[in-house]
Chains A and B, each alone.
Chain A
């Protein structure tokens, strides 16, 4: 950095390509903020998907019971919202882990390794959540 700015120690660790991860972390963070709030409200406080159709099941078993979870997961709108939530949350979480990792272990080889590890973790865990949702939704109620 120039002496004009006075910042002499702020030197990027890697090439400028890392900037895309930084921007994506902000975008995924914003989506996660909104969708996590929705997730908490839907799963703790009220659930219009279930409560409108099956008010007695919610009353008799509770909002966190298996029956209610199953009815929720069978709803296509819930599936779409969950899928978006999982994608943004997993990206935000593991890109955050990547940032911490690169603070401790810098270098090109390390960056390539953790980059691929993050991609694989996101794909595997997204497939896991989809499999979970479809399996539970298809069980006999």
Chain B
């Protein structure tokens, strides 16, 4: 027994992504329902994370270029140096630290990772328990709320923990 929800999902996935001439349809997920948005963001975060992987390996390569570690530490320190000073400290969270290149990259990166991972759980759930497709929208919003909470907690923890000790600090 195949319900209309399954049909809609399969139609959406096929219309969205399986033919080269439908390539542009990836970039117009509106008016096709929340499942198409979820798929679109999944694909974009996935490609972004692959690009980040190469950037990550690039930064780690400095460990090989300069075996003294000075180049690596210089990079890490410059990425973690705040460009605003004198912001208030709310409890244990120094807001200055949030204004560094590294924090902004971490913010985008961890957001993309959490979305991709949580939506991956959602998609895998549909594969193993096809019945759960009927609740796909509710599952999407529950995981979205859980994901945003995880994201906030991760970013607050990064503010507390000293990743690199800045010179003079």
Contact = CB atoms under 8 A, between A and B. Distances in A.
9 closest pairs, A vs B, by CB?
A66-B69, A62-B164, A64-B163, A62-B165, A10-B10, A5-B2, A66-B72, A103-B17, A64-B164
A98 B64 CA distance: 30
A15 interface: no
23 contacts: A10-B10, A11-B14, A26-B124, A26-B127, A29-B124, A30-B124, A40-B154, A60-B165, A62-B162, A62-B164, A63-B163, A63-B164, A64-B76, A64-B164, A65-B76, A66-B69, A66-B73, A69-B72, A97-B50, A104-B20, A104-B23, A132-B61, A135-B63
B47 interface: yes
Nearest to B102: A64
Interface residues of A, number: 45
B43 A100 contact: yes
Interface in A35-71: 36, 40, 44-46, 59-67, 69-70
B7 A7 contact: yes
B31 to A, nearest CB: 18
A65 B63 contact: no
A128 B57 contact: yes
B72 A100 contact: no
Contact of B110 (A40, A70, A104): A40
A63 B20 contact: no
Given A7-B10, A29-B124, A65-B165, A13 B117 contact: no
A105 interface: yes
B11 to A, nearest CB: 6
The residue among A59, A89, A100, A125 with the most chain B CB atoms within 10 A of its own CB is A100
B62 to A, nearest CB: 9
A115 interface: no
